Structure 1
Amino acid sequence: MERRSAPDQLDQRAQVLLKTLIERYIAEGQPVGSRALSKFSGLDLSPATVRNVMADLEEMGFIASPHTSAGRVPTPHGYRFFVDCLLTVRPLPQERVHEIESELRRDQPQRLIGSASQLLSHLTHFAGVVVAPRRLQPRIRRIEFLSLSDKRVLLILVTGEGDVQNRILFTGRTYSAAELVRAANYLNRHCAGLTFEEIRGRLHDELRQLKSDVTELMNAAVEAGGEALEDASGQYAISGERNLLEVEDLSSDMARLRKLFSLF
């Protein structure tokens, strides 16, 4: 038997009711009943007719009925159908576009992820999760050292994309300001424009042969810098976790809520 495409599974009336149910659930975070659907769908249907359509949607796996409520909630299958077939996108006014762009700090990649997460949470009233795509190995623009205290040095890395990473190095001895400058100058002269994988390959033999009192510091910087940028390649940010407490089918199930919060 030929499998029908997703839109053909539902008639127009069922699609409208499913779209209304999901939109109300997203807005209110509570199971949606037949009376609410009859009121907000714009269809001239009785609650009894709506209940019959809801029963069909539940049987097809688009919605579910929590045992604590007579209303229905969307299932993952229902959400997927909503996104693929029912969701309509309305262009934002240009003023709103500029307002959103001003909130996103493009020149600061680390803060951009956090700002996008907060904005997403604000717009949806849910938790906002933003995951940065894994990038190709970034190239180094500049390396700096800053003395924090005895045997502690702050390594500052600036990539070609403007991303800044910091790592504290615990050293075997105290370095003077002049030594830190000399080490930074050496690395910047030999490493600017390279990835840390390329830096390791280039400096491995050179640092072993180099008779310098800052060789240990530069070796530590290369290792710590590579780890820092590798960790940053899979960055993510979560905002608005407390909004989940307003979702009735989550707040009424503490075991499920604890499991969800453990992921954060």
Structure 2
Amino acid sequence: MTTQTIPELTDRARDVFRIVVESYLDSGAPVGSRTISRISALNLSPASIRNVMQDLEELGLLAAPHTSAGRLPTQSGLRLFVDGMMQANEPSAEERAAIEARASEAGPVEEALANTTAALSGLSACAGMVLVPKREPVLRQFNFVPLGGSRALAVLVGDDGSVENRVVDLPDGVAPGALEQATNYVSATFGGLTLAEALSRIGREIRDERAELDSAARDLIERGLAVWSEDGGNRPVLIVRGQARLLEDGAAADLERVRQLLDELEGKEEIARLLDSAREAQAARIFIGSENKLFALSGSSVIAQPVRAMDGRVVGVVGVIGPTRLNYARVVPMVDFTASTLARILG
């Protein structure tokens, strides 16, 4: 069965199809011919509408669930509607202000990302997601705290107020004084530098024998800086907010689907790969149902859009996930606006 394109549908079929899809996205319920005859200005009898709906069903655009006389769009029908018939509704002034306000709150960058994603989740009634490369903080303070045995805790304080910890294996035979010496040296010498810059600089100073450190302290500093640099380069930051919203808006009638979706949201690496696949898109990329294998079982839709800096670089991906019965016309522009807002933070 071949899915029709919009030009191949008759005007009557297009009108009936649009009404069915828009009514379904609004109510989540199958739409019957009598309902269409009441709410539309098509001047068609219920019998004529039924005939058109039957034709659309044979084309694979509509389906009749169970024994219901009503119809709802298939996945192919939703794809046809989204690609060829949807009329986008720009976010309201209040919605734009809510997103911008959360993005402008003081605090570390990741906190701003989380707040903005939460705002997107609340406005779209979906789970909000954002994926960005791990940002190397600019060093403000660096401490080594002994943990006993052959390990220490390296504590990094960034200039944005962020605090991160890593466990570092100590060099053999390191004396307690080496920890204090390394702490003082890093904080005094590398303040205002990124991790990569600090690691490169300590390497040069060691090679040029300008680092006034004993060998144990030098080894300790290199290990402490390297563990962050390697970890930051390999681990993107994925933030998911608003999973509880997936249980709202009548989802209690479809708890098994929502349970499956919540299980799928636990697969952070898979979600990161999915969002990353949208990096090269020029606009929002929409995955409907089984078009995306990760969320095929729950029958969910994902809208994802790259976040581009002023120079065109892709600095992240933002999106939402929810049921296939999304208000695409409203949510797609909302994701687009959020991407533009985040670009100012990440650019």
Would you call these one fold, judging by a TM-score over 0.5?
yes
| Equivalent in the alignment of 2:288 | none
Q: Partners in 2 of 1:69 and 1:181 — Cα distance?
A: 74
1:43 aligns with 2:42: yes
- Return the TM-score normalized by structure 1: 0.69
| Equivalent in the alignment of 1:224 | 227
1:236–1:92: structure 2 CA closer, same or farther, 3 Å change rule?
Answer: closer
1:234–1:12: structure 2 CA closer, same or farther, 3 Å change rule?
Answer: farther
Q: After superposition, where does 1:27-176 map in structure 2 within 5 Å?
A: 27-67=26-66, 69-105=68-104, 108-125=108-125, 127-132=126-131, 135=133, 140-146=137-143, 150=147, 151-157=152-158, 164=162, 166-170=164-168, 172=170
Of Structure 1 and Structure 2, which has the larger fraction of its residues in strand? 2
| Equivalent in the alignment of 1:243 | 246
SS of corresponding position for 1:237: strand
Q: Partners in 2 of 1:144 and 1:183 — Cα distance?
A: 8
Q: After superposition, where does 1:159-238 map in structure 2 within 5 Å?
A: 164=162, 166-170=164-168, 172=170, 179-188=182-191, 192=193, 196=196, 203-204=202-203, 206=205, 211-212=213-214, 213-230=216-233, 233-238=236-241
Q: Deviations over 1:114-150 (max 9, x none)?
A: 334333333333x233233x55x85653252256774
- Return the TM-score normalized by structure 2: 0.56
Letter in 1 for 2:138: R
Percent identity over the alignment is 25
1:62–1:111: structure 2 CA closer, same or farther, 3 Å change rule?
Answer: farther
Letter in 2 for 1:54: M
Letter in 1 for 2:12: R
Q: Partners in 2 of 1:57 and 1:112 — Cα distance?
A: 46
- What is the CA RMSD across the aligned residues, in angstroms? 4.0
The 8 Å contact of residues 33 and 50 in structure 2, kept in 1 or not, is answered as yes
In structure 1, runs of 5+ residues without a counterpart are none
SS of corresponding position for 2:128: strand
User: Shift of residue 262 of structure 1?
Assistant: 1.6
The 8 Å contact of residues 129 and 239 in structure 2, kept in 1 or not, is answered as yes
1:31–1:180: structure 2 CA closer, same or farther, 3 Å change rule?
Answer: farther
Letter in 1 for 2:261: L
In structure 2, runs of 5+ residues without a counterpart are 266-347
SS of corresponding position for 1:115: helix
How many residue pairs were aligned? Answer: 249
Q: Deviations over 1:172-213 (max 9, x none)?
A: 486766752422333347xx26x73x6655545755875435
| Equivalent in the alignment of 1:261 | 262
SS of corresponding position for 2:138: strand
